[in-house]
A and B are shown apart, each in its own frame.
Chain A
C-alpha cells in the first residue's frame, strides 16, 4: 500500500456460464483490463456492443507506470467518459526543460497554439486512470467486467475464438466472435497463438522512483544530461498527482537491478539530487530495461492485438499507453461496422495498417531519443555533447537536442481510407490528419469542436451565411444520414444566424476553425469516428461525400 493511494480490490463473482455449464457465445471479449483494454471495451459498449472483459488480477496498475497522457489521449478519454476525472486529478503541463550538466540548454512547449480544450500533457499515475476507466465501465450495463478471470487457452477458428478461462471456482469455456488482446507486453494471447514480436532490446537500465514530497518546483518536465548529482547518466523529473514526483535515473547496463532497488541505494541518489534538507518518502521503486518491437500484423483473423501486446517502445516520449489508447480508438469503430455488416471484413486490415504505421513512427522516435540519451560509442557521445554544448547559444543545435519526442498523434496520410485532395489547401488538416481542436458555439453555448465530432462520420460544411443554404442543398446534406453508414452533416459559419431548420449550425466563434482548416465558403470536411480527416473539398457535393465514405469504410469493390 502507498501513502497516497489505496489500491482498490475489485470484487470477483462467479461467471454465470461456469455455474450453469453453458457455453456462451459472445460478440466481443477483451483480454486485459489495463488502460487500453478498458478503453476499447468502453468504446464498444457505448456504441451498443455487448463486451466481456477478462483480467487475471483484481486491482489496478501497481506503481505509477504510464504517467504522461497526451492531449490526443485526453480527447479520446473525453469520448469514453473519463477525460474530466483524469484532467481534474492529473497535473497539466506544457513546458519541458533540458539541462546539460549545470545549465539549461533547451526548453520546449508542447502546445504552442491557443484555443484547444485539452493541455499538451497531463501527468497522472496509471492506477488513477485505470480506476476511472473501471468506474466508467461499471456504468455500462452491456459491459461485463470479470476480475480474477485468467485465459488459459485461446483457439482461433474461422468465425471466432474459443477461450478456456480459469477462475477461483475452476475453469469454463467462452466462445467469442472477436477477441481483442490488450494483455500487455508479455501478452499471453500472443504466446498462445504462437506469434512473434520483433525488434531490439536496449542494453540499459533505469531506476524509477515515485517520491512523496512537498516541493514548489514548477509543473514542468525537467530532464538532465550528465548532471553533477548523477554524473555521466541522465535523470528525468515529473510531477504527478498527490505531491508524488516521478524521478527516473539512468543506471547503465552493468547495474544490478535487485541491488539498485534497495532503499539504502535509492535514498542517497535522491538526496544527491534534491539536497540533504529536502524531506521525502519513497512511494514505489522499480528497475527496468525496455525494448522497441512490434508484431508484423496486429490482426490475426478474429484476434486483434492492441497496446503493448502489439508494440512496445522505450518510455522516452510517453508513446506507450498513449499509442495503445489510440489503437483502441482506431479499432472500435471499424469493428462495430464490420460486426453490423456495414463494412467488409477487410476494413479491419486497415486497423493493422494504420496503427502499424503509427507504431513504426513511435518506435522510430523513441529509438532516436534513446540513441541520443545513451550514445553507443565514443563518437556518438562526442556528437551528443557537441549538440548540447552548442545548444545554449544556437537555435539549430537546440532543435537537435533529443530528450524525448513526446507523444503526438500520427498523420495517417498514407492510409488507403483517405480520399486524396483534388483542390489546394493550406495548413495541416489533410486527409489522414488527426483533427485540431477549435472553440465553437452552438445554440448560444460555447464548446469545443472535438467534443462535438467523433463516434460517427460527419460532414462539416463551411458557409459564410447559413441563410444562403437553399432547401435543395439542405436536403442533400440531410439525406447523408439516411444510409447504412450515416453521415451527420453540420453547417459551420463565422456568423451566427439561422440556417435550414433540420441542420445543426456551429458558429466558428474564435475564427480558429477557419484558420486551422483553411476554409472558404463551401469547404467541406468528411471526418471519421476517430477524429481523423477522411476527405475534404472546396464545395459540398453529396455524391463526392458518399464516394469518400465508401472508401473510408472499405466499401469499394
Chain B
C-alpha cells in the first residue's frame, strides 16, 4: 500500500450529494479545533494531532512517504 493522495474523506452513515462536502466537513472541524487558541497553543495542538494520526496509521512506510511529500517545495 502507498500513501493515498486522492480525495478520501468520508464519515460512516453519511451520504453525500456533492463531492466537495466531505472535505469541507473535515476542514471546518480542523479549523474549529483551533478556535480561540493562541498561535503557540495551535502549534502544540497540531503537533499532538500529527502524533495521534501517525499512531493510528501505524504503517511507518506510509508515514515516511507522507513526511517526504510534506517537505517537498515548502
Chain B minimum-CB-distance residue to A402:
B24
Closest CB pairs A-B (n = 4): A379-B42, A399-B7, A394-B5, A399-B23
If A396-B4, A408-B18 touch, whether A379 touches B39 (CB-CB below 8 Å) is yes
B19 to chain A, nearest CB (A): 7
Tell whether A500 is near chain B: CB-to-CB under 8 Å. Answer: no
CB within 8 Å for A379 and B73 given contacts A399-B19, A405-B24:
no
Cα of A395 to Cα of B4 in the assembled complex, Å: 10
Binds B, one of A119-127, A151-159, A365-373: A365-373
- A479 contacts B by Cβ under 8 Å: no
Please determine whether B34 and A368 come into contact, CB atoms closer than 8 angstroms.
no
Which A residues lie within 8 Å of B73 (CB)?
389
Asked whether, in the complex, the Cβ of B5 is within 8 Å of the Cβ of A395, the reply is yes
Q: Quick one: CB contact mask for A19-45 with B, threshold 8 Å, 1 for yes?
A: 000000000000000000000000000
| Closest-CB distance, A70 to chain B (whole angstroms) | 13
Contact A371 B28 (CB under 8 A): yes
On whether the beta carbons of B6 and A395 are closer than 8 Å, the reply is yes
Q: How far is the CA of A427 from the CA of B55 in the complex (A)?
A: 37
Q: Which residue of B lies closest to A396 (CB)?
A: B7
Chain B: minimal CB distance from A94 (Å): 16
B56 at the interface (CB under 8 A from A): no
Q: Is A380 an interface residue (CB 8 A)?
A: yes
Contacts of B18 in A (CB 8 A): 405, 408
Q: Can you name the residue of chain A whose Cβ is closest to the Cβ of B8? A: A396
- With a CB–CB cut-off of 8 A, which chain A residues contact B30? 383
CB neighbours of A383 from chain B (8 A): 27, 30-31
Shortest distance from the beta carbon of A174 to any chain B beta carbon, whole Å: 42
A428 CB within 8 Å of chain B: yes
CB of B34 within 8 A of CB of A396, answer no
A379-B46, A383-B31 known; A400 vs B23 contact (CB < 8 Å)? yes
| B69 interface residue (CB < 8 Å to A) | yes
B residues 1-51 in Cβ contact with A at 8 Å: 4-9, 17-20, 23-24, 26-28, 30-31, 34, 37, 39, 42-43, 46
Please name 15 further chain A to chain B contacts, defined as beta carbons within 8 Å, in addition to the given A377-B34, A396-B6, A399-B19, sorted by A numbering.
A368-B28, A371-B31, A377-B39, A379-B34, A380-B31, A383-B27, A394-B69, A395-B5, A396-B5, A396-B8, A399-B9, A399-B20, A400-B23, A400-B24, A433-B17
B74 / chain A contacts, CB cutoff of 8 Å? 389
Q: Bound state CA distance, A144 and B20, in angstroms?
A: 43
CB distance from B34 to the nearest CB of A (A): 5
Q: What are 10 A-B interface contacts by the 8 Å CB criterion? A: A371-B28, A379-B42, A379-B43, A395-B6, A395-B7, A396-B5, A396-B7, A399-B7, A400-B24, A428-B17
Task: Give the number of chain A interface residues (Cβ < 8 Å).
Answer: 24
Q: Which of A372, A393, A433 contacts B27 (CB 8 A)?
A: A372
Bound form: Cα–Cα A402–B18 in Å: 13
CA distance A411 to B15 in the complex (A): 11
CB distance from A390 to the nearest CB of B (A): 8
- Which chain B residues in 42-74 approach chain A with CB under 8 Å? 42-43, 46, 69, 72-74
The reply to whether B69 and A377 contact each other, CB–CB distance below 8 Å, is: no
Q: How far is the CA of A368 from the CA of B26 in the complex (A)?
A: 11
Cβ distance B8 to chain A, nearest Cβ, rounded Å: 6
CA distance A400 to B39 in the complex (A): 23
Smallest distance from the beta carbon of B44 to chain A beta carbons, Å?
A: 11
Residue A378 interfacial (CB < 8 Å): yes
Interface residues of A in 403-453 (CB under 8 A from B): 405, 408, 411, 428, 433
Closest to A367 in B: B28
Residue of A nearest to B37 (CB): A379
A-side contacts of B28, CB under 8 Å: 368, 371
- Docked complex Cα distance between A457 and B54 (Å): 54
Known interface pairs A368-B28, A394-B5, A395-B5. Does A378 touch B39 (Cβ–Cβ under 8 Å)?
yes
A372 and B73 CA atoms in complex are apart in Å by 22
Looking at the complex, which one of B27, B34, B43, B69 makes contact with A400 (CB distance below 8 Å)? B27
Give Cα A172 to B9, complex, Å: 59
Which B-chain residue is minimally distant from A378 (CB atoms)?
B39
In the assembled complex, the CB of A257 is this many whole angstroms from the nearest CB of chain B, namely 28
B42 touches A377 (CB 8 A): yes
Closest to A379 in B: B42
**Residues of chain B lying within 8 A (CB to CB) of residue A405:** 18, 20, 24
Residue of B4, B18, B24 ringed by the most chain A CB atoms within 10 A:
B24
Nearest-neighbour CB distance to chain B for A245, whole angstroms, equals 26
**Chain B residues near A394 (CB-CB < 8 A):** 5, 69
CB within 8 Å of B: which of A139-167? none
Residues of A within 8 A of B42 (CB): 377-379
How distant is the Cα of A2 from the Cα of B14 in the complex, in angstroms? Answer: 49
Chain A residue numbers with a CB within 8 Å of B7 are: 395-396, 399
Closest chain B residue, CB of each to CB of A408: B18
Q: Which of chain A's residues have a CB closer than 8 A to the CB of B43? A: 379
Q: Which of A402, A428, A433 has the most CB of B within 10 A?
A: A402
Q: Which of B17, B28, B42, B43 has the most CB of A within 10 A?
A: B17
Shortest C-beta distance, A253 to chain B (Å), equals 19
Cα separation A402 to B28 with both chains bound (whole Å): 11
Instruction: Give A215 Cβ to nearest chain B Cβ, in Å.
Output: 30
Q: Separation in Å of the A432 CB from the closest CB of chain B? A: 10
A326 to B63, CA, bound (A): 47
